[in-house]
Every structure is written in structure tokens, then in C-alpha cells.
Amino acid sequence: MSESKKSSWKDSNWYMSLTGFWKEYRRHKIGILGIIVLLFYVGMAVGAPWLATHDPSPNNTVAPEFLAPGWMSVFDPTGVITDQYMPDRELTEAPEFELIGDSTDFSYEHYVPDGGNGRVNLTWEHTAGTEITLQDPYDTGPQLLDPIADSFIVFKQEVEWPFEGLPEDVNISLTYATTLTGDFLTEERGGLMFRAYIWFIDDSGNWMRVFESNPPYADYFQTRIKHLSFFDIRDTFGGMVVDENNVQEDERDVFTVAFGLVPSETFFEDSVGDYEHPYLNYTGGVEITVEELGVIAHGGYFGVLGTTDKGGDAWSQLVFGSRISLTIGILATALSTAVGVIVGLTAGYFGGKTDEILMRVVDFLLVIPGLPLMMVLAAFLGPTIENIIVVISILGWTGTSRLIRSQVMAEKNKAYVESARAIGASDTYIIFRHILPNVTPILFANITLGVVGAILSESGLAFLGLTDPNEPSWGRMIADAQGTGGFSQGAWWVVVFPGLMITILSLAFTFVGHTLDQVLNPRLRER
């Protein structure tokens, strides 16, 4: 082949070469922008486990609902910064122990197991007949302790409050295990012989009980989370807040968290109205091992993008939502494209009754309203990701089949197809080895635009509550915000950012599809 013929071949078939294709594609700035944006979304989807700061489940509560994004706090310097854990939740630092009273039945230990976090053991060994000094059941005491006995054991950790205002919400996280022995284990009411408490102690020395354990107890670690009421928050932190008269009740911005093991406050009244403690005749013991004790205070702001209607981390849901949209968009489009290509090739090549039957099926699906049918199918099949992909694919192949059919009808009468028939090539061979490669270029642009439709369909189904409620989705974030009045309450971030993610991703695929159409469509290239 001469050099002129080689050059002519390259010029007339440059789109078959990746190098030539890229040289032509990169001339379109809008297409380059689309690829950059798509790479950004793919990177977000792949890196979601590292980018997310919390569990992305829509039902996972990490803070109060509709907290504003943390970066908005720069416009409100007096606001309480959120996500402040205190004290050290893993107890890696030895706390301060204190034995209240003069009993020798209590003991304590702080240790760090191999390869683990610090732990605290509080133990009470009681012998039958050992006296327990009781408090007056009607007297809460000057320190608001309110346990039954004068003797018990606690460990304490001081916490500095570095903010100016009251927190919006305070959660206490406690992870502990309980080991019972003797009558404490075997007696039916053994779990009622003691209590474990958490107190907040203010700078004035006042104790306020904020947690009380209840049976049944287990010898393996369990986590309990306690949400403080408005009044508990006010009583605990109010003394550290400067009031309108520029007065602060507590001298220091410090409060103490205390965890204690105390004989039970359960009383039994006898026939003459006297109070007695029936456990004095029991012999046994209890050991409480605390692995984690944490207090987390939430102010008016949280994280990168605030919180959702259920108090979930909006940023984590937004990041993981990219996985759902890309997965469903790409797989649903791939499945619908495969079906559309096969139907279009079959109808266009064989014609006649085959073409008539297949095209009437296409016409039937085209006249049916798409969204209501998808709603019915999604409700019938179930809200799993796999079923949503199938639902979207069922209605997504009709346009592809018509496009391929029209191209095949134009190609099947060309000379190269007639030559293949003349040498005895089978219909399958002609369809997939000759016709399909020649109609494929026009298909790429249709695929990218199909992804846009699939993403919007998934978002619409999620908005209507027909997708998996346990999977983070941009459409579901918008639906949850709309259903609970988040936007009307000023929580614009739970609507704007998911909406922007859907819009920008759809535009990116549209830009790429438009550029592919210009590069691969011969008619547009001639213009």
C-alpha cells in the first residue's frame, strides 16, 4: 500500500484509532470538563470509606437533627462547636478513685490489657450479716446522690468546658461488662442488689445523677447511650455560662464525670411499715468493668454538611450516595443497552413479522407512563439495589432498540453485507462481526445520556420512598428533608447539596455524551 493510500485510510477512519479519537475529543472543552467531573465522582465513590466521618446509614443518629454545617460557625463565633468528646472515652488515662464511707467491701483497679484500651474495675464483695449503713429514703442528701447506702466506690474524670454557650444536646456513652458471683448470681433478684450510676458534678460540688443501670446484666461488654434532657443540660452546664449580667455561677469552666458502684436503692416495706434491706443476709459479689465512658456535646453546628432529619451525618450520606447513583446509573444503563442492542439488531436485520412484533412491544412500552410503571414494579419487586436496576432497565431499552434498528436497516443492504452473505456467512456472524461494529460508534453517546436518565430515575424512586431505606441516597436525603419540613425550618443544606450532586453528575454525563456525539457521528463531523 502506497503512502498516499495509507494516509487516506487514516484520514477516513481516524475515529477507529484511540489516538485519533482522543486528539479529536480533547478539542471539545466541554467534554474535557465532563471527564474531570466524572473522575471526581468516581474518586468520591471509591474513597467513600475514608472520606466519610460517620456511619452513613440514614437511620444512624450521631447528633441532633438539622444541625448546620460546621463551617457556618465562622458567622456565629459565640456558637458551641460540636463533636466534642470528653473525657477520654477509652479510659487510657488513670482516673481518680474515691471510696465514699468507711466500708472495706469495695475495691478498684485500673489496668491496660495487652493491645487494648484502658479499663476500670469496680468491685463490691458482700458477706452475709455485714452491715450496710442506709440513708433516709426520703432525704436525697445535700449532694443529690440519692443512693441507698452511705458507702460506695466511684471513679472520676474532670472535664473542661471551653465554650461560651449551652450545648444543644449531650449524649453519654458507656461500655461495660458485669460479673456476678454467689447470691448475686443465683438469687432471682440478684440483679437488684446493686446499681451503677453516672453523675455530673459541678464546680460547686453538687452531684446530679444522669444514668442508672438496670438488670439484666451480662458478663460481656455492652454499650449504653443516654441522652440528657434539657433540664439536665441546663443544670450541668448553666453554671459555666456567663449570663446577661456578665456573671458566671461556677468559678471554673470545669465539671466532673463520676461512675459509681452502689448497693441497691430498692427498699422493701414490712408489715409494720419499717424499711429493711433483705440482701444483708446474702453473700456474693459484683465486678463492673468499664471499657469506655464518654460524653459528647453537640452545639448548633456539626461536621462538614450538618445533620439530617434523623440526626445523621449529611456529609457521610452524601459521599456514599455517589456509590448508589453511579452503580445504579451505570449498571442499569448497561443492562438496558444490552437488551436494546439485541432487540434493535434482530428487528432491523430480519425485518418482516419479527420486526413488526418487536416494534409493537416497543411502542406499547413507550406509551405507558414511565414513572408510575417504575413505582409499581419497585413496590412489587422490593426496594433492593438489584431490583431498582431491573426496574429502570425495563423501560430504558426502548429508545436504544429504535436507534439501533434504524442504523441496521441502513447497513444491512450495503455491499459488505451482501458479500458476506455470498460467501456463506451466517446471520449471527454478519450481525455481530460486520453490522454491530459499524453501528457501535453512534451508540456511545446514547449510553452516556442513558446514564443520566437512570440516575434521575433512581433519585425519583428514592424521593418517593421506593428504594432501600437503609442505603444512603441523594434522592432519599431530599425526600427525608422535605417530609420533615427541614427546608422550611431553614435546613437548606439537606436539600441543596444532594440536589447539586445529582445535577452536576447528570451534566457531566451530558457533556461527555454531547462530545461523543460530535466526535463519532459522521453527520455532525461533516458540519
Residue 125 shares a structural domain with residue 273: yes
Residue 372 shares a structural domain with residue 454: yes
Boundaries of domain holding 114: 83-299
Q: Is 511 helix (H, G, I), strand (E, B) or coil?
A: helix
CATH code at position 187: 2.60.120.200
Q: Name the residue with cell 467534554.
A: 31
C-alpha cell at 471: 442505603
Residue 47 shares a structural domain with residue 97: no
- Summarised one tens digit per residue, pLDDT across range 420-446 is 888 888 888 888 888 888 887 778 777
**Which pLDDT does position 141 carry in this prediction?**
43
**Which pLDDT does position 32 carry in this prediction?**
93
* 8 assigned to some structural domain: no
* 164 assigned to some structural domain: yes
CATH code at position 444: 1.10.3720.10
Residue 46 shares a structural domain with residue 186: no
Contact 457, 336 (CB under 8 A): no
Residue 330 shares a structural domain with residue 240: no
Q: How many domains does the chain have?
A: 2
- In one-letter notation, the amino acid at residue 350 is F
User: Is 0.85 topped by the overall pTM?
Assistant: no
Average pLDDT, the chain: 80
* 126 assigned to some structural domain: yes
Reported confidence tier of residue 1, pLDDT bands at 50, 70, 90? very low
Residue 169 shares a structural domain with residue 132: yes
Distance CA 380, CA 376 (A): 6
Q: What is the dihedral of CA 231, 236, 241, 246, to 10 degrees?
A: 80
- Summarised one tens digit per residue, pLDDT across range 95-140 is 889 888 878 889 999 888 876 778 899 999 988 877 776 665 444 4
Phi-psi map region of 308: left, alpha, beta (phi>0 left; psi -120 to 50 alpha): beta
Q: How many CA atoms does the CB half-sphere of 353 hold within 13 Å?
A: 0
- Summarised one tens digit per residue, pLDDT across range 150-183 is 788 999 888 777 777 778 788 888 899 999 999 8
Reported confidence tier of residue 77, pLDDT bands at 50, 70, 90? low
* 14 assigned to some structural domain: no
Task: Order the strands of the 254-263 sheet from edge to edge.
Answer: 96-100, 152-160, 254-263, 194-201, 207-212
DSSP 246: S
Q: What percent of the chain has pLDDT over 90?
A: 13
- Summarised one tens digit per residue, pLDDT across range 215-247 is 888 899 988 888 888 888 888 777 777 766 667
**Which pLDDT does position 216 carry in this prediction?**
85
Distance CA 202, CA 466 (A): 49
Residue 242 shares a structural domain with residue 260: yes
Distance CA 498, CA 79 (A): 26
* 153 assigned to some structural domain: yes
Nearest residue to 53 (alpha-carbon basis) of 443, 265, 315: 315
Contact 330, 451 (CB under 8 A): yes
**Which pLDDT does position 269 carry in this prediction?**
43
Residue 178 shares a structural domain with residue 241: yes
Q: Is 152 helix (H, G, I), strand (E, B) or coil?
A: strand
* 325 assigned to some structural domain: yes
- Summarised one tens digit per residue, pLDDT across range 348-372 is 888 888 888 998 888 888 887 777 8
Return the number of other C-beta atoms located less than 10 Å from residue 510's C-beta: 16
Least confident of 457-466, 502-511, 513-522: 513-522
Domain termination residue (choose one: 277, 299, 321) = 299
Residue 173 shares a structural domain with residue 89: yes
